[in-house]
A and B are shown apart, each in its own frame.
Chain A
Amino acid sequence: MNRTFRPIALLVFLASLHVALLFPGFFAPYDFAAQNRDLPFAPPTKLHFVDPAGGFHLWPFVHPFQDNTDANGVYAEDLTQSYPLRLFVNGDPYKVAGLWTAHIHLFGVQSPGQIFLFGTDDFGRDELSRMFFGGRISLFAGILGATIAISVGAAMGLVAGFFGGWRDAVIMRVSELFLALPWLYLLFAVRALLPLRVKSTDAFLLLVSIVGLVGWARPARLVRGIVLAAKERNFVLAARAMGASNTHVVIYHIWPETYGVLLTTAALLVPQFILAEVTLSFLGLGVGEPIPSWGNLLAPLQRYSVLTSYWWMYLPAVALVFLFLAYHWASTTLQSKTAEVRA
């Protein structure tokens, strides 16, 4: 692959994904909580180009499901009706950036037709819509956790590495303590201590912040290492010889040395914290019903019946794999770039 193409493609992919997840209401065809109680565990809607009579259409259309109120779990398409796929349709209201109410969705079909490209869950809710809305929570959790961990870690590492002595000893011993902390049990304990009436999103943010806080130790040790090495380099010594103050040296000479490592760490930590959210929600500690997150979209897979019967419930996991791969590539690319710059 072209040396410059790959990083740019990656960046575009990650950026567009984040933008899409910032405006889930537009990309999702339905509201995340809209239940279709007649359509539990409906398989993904098929996009058709050929009608029952054999005629070919350039623009795709969908058939609705036949009435399935006897709950036998078998869905058949009603071939007598068809609804063409539409772009920029009017639908469930949603909030843009929490301020404006909008009705336009990227795609959809005319009511009473319905389109579930990723199937539905136990309440007949559109999995695709829930994935878009769930991504907002999960990515936010990842970025929030990583930001907290890195900013605390960088500050601690800088102090420990630059000043050394007893500060270094104390910070490093404390970081070892944090590395040894079983954070999952810590979170169980914190959740149990919270009062019932805390909003589940608030409780969740609190838990993510705690995960972030607990995670400062690793970045701190990395930054300390860089600072220790940088401190002894000739240009730092030269600056000092010219009478530069501690602050000046840190800001202009040492801090820039850590950029590469911090960016790489961030690219690694974000998916790690997304995964932490997934674990928390999987265990029932995450955001509560009906708000989706990627973790609680995966939680039904804990049940044997879902695991064996409804393959489309795995789709959030597949999406996670791609996201993590993108972050991982971003991290390796950043690493090689910083290595090039330094060399």
Chain B
Amino acid sequence: MSLVKSIRVLGQLAVAAALACTNFSASVQAAPQEFATMPGEAGESGGKLVVALRSEPKTLNPILSVDATSREVIGTMNADLIHINRETQRTEPALAKSWKISPDGKQFVLQLRKGVKFSDGTPFTADDVVFSFNLYLDEALHSPQRDLLIIDDKPIVAKKLNDFAVEFDLAKPYGPGERLFDGLAILPRHLLEKSYREGKLAQAWGITARPEDFSGLGAFKLKSYTPGQQLVLERNPNYWKKDSAGKSLPYLTELTFVFVANEDAQIIKFQSGDTGLLERSNADNFAVLQKDAVAKGECLRDLGPGLEFQFLVFNQNQLDPAKYRDLAAKQAWFRDLKFREAVSLAMDRKGMTRLVYGGKATPIWGNVTPGDRLWLNTSLSHPERSIGEARKLLQSSGYSWTSDGSLLDSQKRPVTFTIMVSSSNAQRSKLAALAQDDLKQLGMDVQVVPTEFRALVDRVLNSKDFEAVLMNLVNGDTDPTPEMNLWLSSGETHLWDLGEKKPATAWEAEVDHLMESQMTTTDPAARKKLYDRVQQLAADNLPLIFLVSPNILVAAQSNVGNFRPAILEPYVLWNADQLFLRRPGAAKCP
């Protein structure tokens, strides 16, 4: 199927015209240097922008980065072949100016932009592309991107056709199509090949490497790094994008990341004008900002629900009953669908939205958030909260109540369990306290256990020693394929029952099948239908009790131009190459 057709079908699926598709015009002319021209307001060059990061990047090596802050910094220093526009949520040409997908969906041919140079001045060619994909696929390097490039157990093969054309061969058609290439940074062969041959690539491009050791195709390049304080990037003069007025991008001469671990401290820094952008705010702090945003000249944006969702999950893992006797007995409740339905019915999602997020969140009953307009199954039912209905369900499953209202199971054991929650997250602790109070109304004696985050993750993923846990997941893309890990019964984050050798239930077997077929189906309408069914099965069987999806709340000083935050990460820096600073007095908040 051709790309044009696939985009049109996706367009029909989009709910309403909310997704105003800015048609990206890659002006491909026979020029010595094929620049990409970006739509948007033409800005002024110069200026320095400061942004706070929650933690220091662990590495600047795109092959090895796993944490969000590393990837965010790396994203501004590197470029990919085909990019997902965070605003339109569609793909657009990046280093590849155009591409063709074969009719069977198994072959991609990408035409590269000519005349593009790395930040050190070396020309970019197909050799760099093939070299980069070899790195991502090299098992010895353990790149987190490797899994995405293995389709039907076979790695993608990259072949150079000529200096400016590369062919990719897939074992099976790939549903998300060219979205595959997003985020795969193209690396300079001339700099990294030596260390790769010597087996030292894992040590290359660490956070302490010298600026002259780096070279990238991104908008910025490393200027300096001060441990514990800041990382300064400067403009890449060889960048391959121009604005609508023909001026070279990026506009900013410097982009500085300062390290501010505490969320409240980030707000204070932003309020005092030390930072120009605020990446993400919680609802409480956003309300504090709102009080004097106009007076201070700050642009606050509530982008609505993002791709993050909060949920409660019960431990349904297959455990050694000798080792976990107590827990194994409780799992009889957790595996009882009526029990989970009763819990879901008792949840005051509206109260959670209001009390925890000040109304800046959306109640959810499924795994796709309302932010993901393309894929959301709008026909899912949203059962109203009803303690009465929940009690009826419990009763029909053999539960009863003592005279003081405590719930007993069919064997007359009191229903009591713990909900683990990250102790460092105030919002989630509040959600847990509300859930605890809601479940008390069903007679369940629930204890909330605040746990240090790493200990919590260890209990959920490794020791599996927990009863219930309240946590969140953030989808990296609107497409369902990155969610495979959660839904496949063999998936690494199949949280409620990890490491199933074969699907434990019939519906999980069906989900396995649906997820695998959506990944290898190229017709978007057919994929949507498959994923709609997955959402229906998830809502019917409640492996996770979906609670709320918080809104993405961001802010910028009013002099930051082209501030167009999006609900896909990185929320505010996705168009770092187009951000600019207005002259004093010209400030306006669009």
Contact = CB atoms under 8 A, between A and B. Distances in A.
B268 A288 contact: no
B288 A199 contact: no
B355 A40 contact: yes
Contact of A304 (B268, B358, B434, B448): B268
Interface stretch (A65-73, A75-83, A149-157, A331-339): A65-73
Interface stretch (A204-212, A222-230, A305-313): A305-313
A284 B423 contact: yes
A87 B554 CA distance: 49
B321 to A, nearest CB: 16
A342 interface: no
B418 A37 contact: no
A124, A288, A302 interface centre (most CB from chain B within 10 Å): A288
B267 interface: yes
A165 interface: no
A37 B268 contact: no
B284 A123 contact: no
B284 A305 contact: yes
A303 B434 contact: no
B447 A37 contact: no
A135 B432 CA distance: 24
A196 interface: yes
Contacts of B437: 33, 35, 123, 290
A123 B465 contact: no
B450 interface: yes
A197 interface: yes
B284, B285, B451 interface centre (most CB from chain A within 10 Å): B284
B55 interface: no
A309 B433 contact: no
B139 to A, nearest CB: 36
A35 B435 CA distance: 12
Contacts of B532: none
A123 B355 contact: yes
Chain B interface extent, by class: 35 or more
A309 B285 CA distance: 10
B264 A196 contact: no
Given A303-B264, A304-B267, A196 B448 contact: no
B535 to A, nearest CB: 29
A305 B285 contact: yes
A122 interface: yes
B351 A306 contact: no
Nearest to A69: B354
Interface string A185-212: 0000000100011011000000000000
A134 B356 CA distance: 23
Interface residues of A, number: 27
Interface string A120-135: 0011100000000000
B426 A70 contact: no
Given A122-B355, A305-B285, A289 B467 contact: no
Contact of B359 (A71, A200, A303): A71
B274 to A, nearest CB: 15
Contact of B447 (A288, A302, A305): A288
B472 to A, nearest CB: 19
A37 B348 contact: yes
Contacts of A289: 429, 432-433, 436, 448
Contacts of A33: 437
Contacts of B264: 303-305
Contacts of A288: 447-450
Contacts of A309: 287-288
Contacts of A192: 452, 455
Given A35-B437, A69-B354, A71-B354, A304 B465 contact: no
B419 to A, nearest CB: 10
Contacts of B354: 37, 40, 69, 71
B326 interface: yes
Contacts of B432: 289
A175 to B, nearest CB: 32
Nearest to B283: A305
A37 B351 contact: yes
Given A122-B430, A196-B418, A197-B326, A304 B355 contact: no
Nearest to B455: A192
15 contacts: A35-B434, A123-B430, A123-B437, A196-B465, A200-B449, A284-B423, A288-B448, A289-B429, A289-B433, A289-B436, A290-B433, A290-B437, A304-B288, A305-B264, A305-B285
Interface of A: 33, 35, 37, 40, 69-71, 73, 122-124, 192, 196-197, 199-200, 284, 288-290, 302-306, 308-309
Given A303-B284, A304-B267, A309-B288, 20 more contacts: A33-B437, A35-B434, A37-B351, A40-B354, A40-B355, A124-B355, A192-B455, A196-B418, A196-B451, A197-B326, A197-B418, A200-B449, A288-B449, A289-B432, A289-B436, A289-B448, A304-B268, A305-B285, A305-B288, A309-B287
* Leading 5 A-B pairs by shortest Cβ distance: A304-B264, A305-B284, A71-B359, A289-B433, A37-B351
Interface of B: 264, 267-268, 284-285, 287-288, 326, 348, 351, 354-356, 358-359, 418, 420, 423, 426, 429-430, 432-434, 436-437, 447-452, 455, 459, 465-467
